[in-house]
Amino acid sequence: MPNMSLKKNEMPSQEPNVRNKNFLEVALGYTEEMALDEAQRCLNCKHKPCVNGCPVHIDIPAFIHQVAQGDFDGAYDIISESSSLPAVCGRVCPQESQCEKNCVRGIKGEAVGIGRLERFVADTHNSKENVVIEKPKSNGHKVAVIGSGPSGLTCAGDLAKKGYEVTVFEALHLAGGVLVYGIPEFRLPKAIVQKEIETLKALGVKVETNMVIGKILSIDELMDEYGFESVYIGSGAGLPRFMNIPGENLKGVYSANEFLTRVNLMKAYKEGSATPIANSKKVAVVGGGNVAMDAARCAKRLGAEEVYIVYRRGADELPARAEEVEHAKEEGIIFKLLTNPVEILPNAENKVGAMKCVEMELGEPDASGRRRPVVKEGSEFELEVDCVIMSIGTSPNPLIKSTTKGLETQKWGGIIADENGLTSREGVYAGGDAVTGAATVILAMGAGKTAAAAIDEYIQNKNK
Amino acid sequence: MYKIVRKEVLNPTVTLMEIDAPLIAKKAEPGQFIILRVDRDGERIPLTVADFDREKGTVTIIFQIVGATTEKLNHKEQGECIADFVGPLGVASHTDGLKKVAVVGGGVGCAIAYPIAKKLHNLGCEVHSIVGFRNKDLVILENEFARVSDVLKMMTDDGSHGEKGLVTDALKALIESGEQYDEVITIGPLIMMKFVCKLTKEYGIKTVVSMNPIMIDGTGMCGGCRLTVGGETKFACVDGPDFDGHLVDFDEAIERGSMYKEFERHAYSEACNLFNKEVK
């Protein structure tokens, strides 16, 4: 008998006023009882609309059916057929606009908590000791993956399962890309990311850190000298944008990338960390995306008394997930909407002292279809702050493009690739933010998955 | 892990290490830098490539003990390993078409100036080296510079070795005596580079500086190393570290360099406690 409750099981979480002072995970995950109960809400639809909403097409009703039976290992195996990083995706995917958006139960009431169940299954599996992973038999073909973010790891995992000898090249000292330097510990514990990477290594994926491709080795060298038959570029979009307003190079002004890298990758939030971060009392985060929410919530946890989100459009236009905005508000982040900075002003010590802002109004829709913000005459005011974090977007790093002959890119830097991820160079594929510009973890994974299939086909055909 | 194959104390505060890193050694060029972490919980620090041996597969770094991380690094011995060593990063120094160059180095900056002087010398360029130190105990690489320089001016602040005075005094004297340089290349403390640029601007001599701002990743993903050059924001790790010195906003760079002074002082005294040393 299905559970016909209109609401999904709430996930236990830390109280807002407790969690905004620590870096522990906010959402605590389902218990076994909650998971079993939630799994009963799935109607096991024959046409599986949820699956179409998942960029990697996990057989959702099938795995939920196993959960409902109490067969969590069986559920994990079904998810693994499609996803290499379930503990990550169950946490950071915007399910409301993907799988759960299409859920039949969502027509009247709330969708099934697919993400929460995926997370439960992955965490249950990962908490087991001594899980033996069988390394697939090698097919003798070598593939290089550049970048160890979600798209690279997914591509590597899929190819390893098919028997390819995959080497992932990562520029930083830790693998995971945005999962380790960008998304904070309280949303995605780093131990979980490491665990998923260990699983990939057990499948035979080699991970080489401290390798800046384009500097230490070029793509041509990987293919001509090192015997990689195909290369997948999943180097992301990590180049931060600045506003180019006066005062932006004052002490206390960070890009969100720098701020989050110091906090997450270098663990600057920990007592005794070797990597410093500014001690700030009043912080302004400029921007309204998920990265802005992450930066603001980190700043609060580092002890700032007041943290502002400064965004030039209104609440309806905030690009961040509704849930992230909600969490930020619960934790005491102050939203200054329809506000745009025009200058950052120094204090007596030549550090950030204030931010000069103007109020905005929404005018006619622009080319992107969004209503264009227009400055309100005479609305200038000063916001007293001692730290400013610029979170207005990123673009692909030009390093790979500038060192790879014949690799075509868009004007804004994105690598040009077809629907299978094939670039203008034979055997060279690309996907994720390196192609699309900054997007979501799961879209990057979907691209990695598609490219892995295309790479397999390419190598098999070539060797026929 | 990256092995320290040779360690040499150059003076009481400056150490040379030759690190086993064959792939980096194969590609490195003068002017480029590496980023290292001493151990797993360490911070990432940039150091310029002081030399490399493509056949042996080693990269040489020379560092001054200025804080917690360099103190910890200095306690590593030959045969031990450091956790991370990334590179070669940044753009190599331009040497094309140069016929006569003045290379001006200050303090530990001389370690970075030396490979450029050496490369220019090997390319057949006339090299005039002007190197400055606070006193004779701090002098490094004197013989190395002598080998690759057509003219070598050794300056100390107190006159305890070579001539007494600043590098700018020696450079000015050479220019006044009629030497005509295609370019001046200067590497050292920001304040020294600032004054070298001020001097050469008067004479209209193109001057290249090697900047050393605070860095994290060194690959262009954070902008922590940004500088204003000719009114534009540049990332030293990918656009530099070499820039046209007459266009660099030195005062801003000096300010930005002091961002974590307090934290660094505290960390250094902690590290020194650990090693039972006095903070100088």
* Residue-wise pLDDT tens digits, A407-438: 999 999 999 999 999 999 999 999 999 999 98
Nearest to A215 among B89, B222, B260 (CB): B89
Q: What integer is the mean pLDDT of B123-147?
A: 94
The owner of tokens 């820039």 is: B243
| Contact present, A295 and A272 (Cβ < 8 Å) | no
Percent of residues, chain B, with pLDDT higher than 70: 98
| Burial zone of B268 (CB within 10 Å; 0-12 exposed, 13-18 middle, 19+ buried) | buried
Which ipTM was obtained for this model? 0.92
Contact A173 B89 (CB under 8 A): no
Neighboring chain B residues of A257 at a CB cutoff of 8 Å: 221-223
| Contact present, A50 and A41 (Cβ < 8 Å) | no
User: Which of the 8 DSSP states describes residue B145?
Assistant: H
- Provide the pLDDT for residue A363: 87
Q: Give the number of beta-carbon pairs within 8 Å between A and B.
A: 97
Residue B123 contacts A where some CB pair is shorter than 8 Å: no
The owner of tokens 């990063």 is: B89
pTM over 0.90: yes
B221, amino acid identity = M
| Cα A388 from Cα B34, distance rounded (Å) | 29
Report residue B186's pLDDT band, with 50, 70 and 90 as the boundaries: very high
Nearest to A240 among B222, B258, B259 (CB): B222
- Provide the pLDDT for residue A12: 93
Residue B222 contacts A where some CB pair is shorter than 8 Å: yes
Tens of pLDDT, residues B260-278: 888 888 888 887 777 776 6
Nearest to A212 among B42, B86, B258 (CB): B86
Q: What integer is the mean pLDDT of B202-216?
A: 95
Contact B233 A244 (CB under 8 A): yes
Q: Nearest-CA residue of chain B relative to A400?
A: B219
Nearest to B220 among A172, A239, A278 (CB): A239
| Cα B187 from Cα A313, distance rounded (Å) | 46
Neighboring chain A residues of B238 at a CB cutoff of 8 Å: 399
Per-residue pLDDT for chain A (464 aa), expressed as one digit of tens each?
688 888 999 999 999 999 999 999 999 999 999 999 999 999 999 999 999 999 889 999 999 999 999 999 999 999 998 888 899 989 988 888 899 999 999 999 999 999 999 999 999 998 887 777 888 899 999 999 999 999 999 999 999 999 999 999 999 999 999 999 999 999 999 999 998 899 999 999 999 999 999 999 999 999 999 999 999 999 999 999 999 999 999 999 999 999 999 999 999 998 888 999 988 999 999 999 999 999 999 999 999 999 999 999 999 999 998 889 999 999 999 999 999 999 999 999 999 999 999 999 998 888 777 788 899 999 999 999 999 999 999 999 888 888 999 999 999 999 999 999 999 999 999 999 999 998 888 889 999 999 999 999 999 998 87
Q: How far apart are the first and last CA of chain B?
A: 31
Q: Nearest-CA residue of chain B relative to A177?
A: B221
pLDDT at B280 over 70: no
- What integer best gives the mean pLDDT of chain B? 93
Residues on chain A bordering chain B, Cβ-to-Cβ distance under 8 angstroms: 171-173, 209-212, 215-217, 238-240, 242, 244, 248-252, 254-255, 257-258, 261-262, 266-267, 273-276, 278, 350, 397-399
Nearest to B255 among A239, A350, A398 (CB): A350
Give B172 to chain A, closest Cα distance, Å. 33
Residue B260 contacts A where some CB pair is shorter than 8 Å: yes
Neighboring chain B residues of A254 at a CB cutoff of 8 Å: 224
Contact A258 B222 (CB under 8 A): yes
Which of A215-240 are b and which e, b meaning 16 or more Cβ less than 10 Å from the residue's Cβ? bbbbbebbbeeeebbbbbbbbbbbbb
Residue B233 contacts A where some CB pair is shorter than 8 Å: yes
Alpha helices in chain B (DSSP H): 22-27, 68-74, 110-122, 142-148, 167-176, 190-203, 236-239, 250-257, 261-274
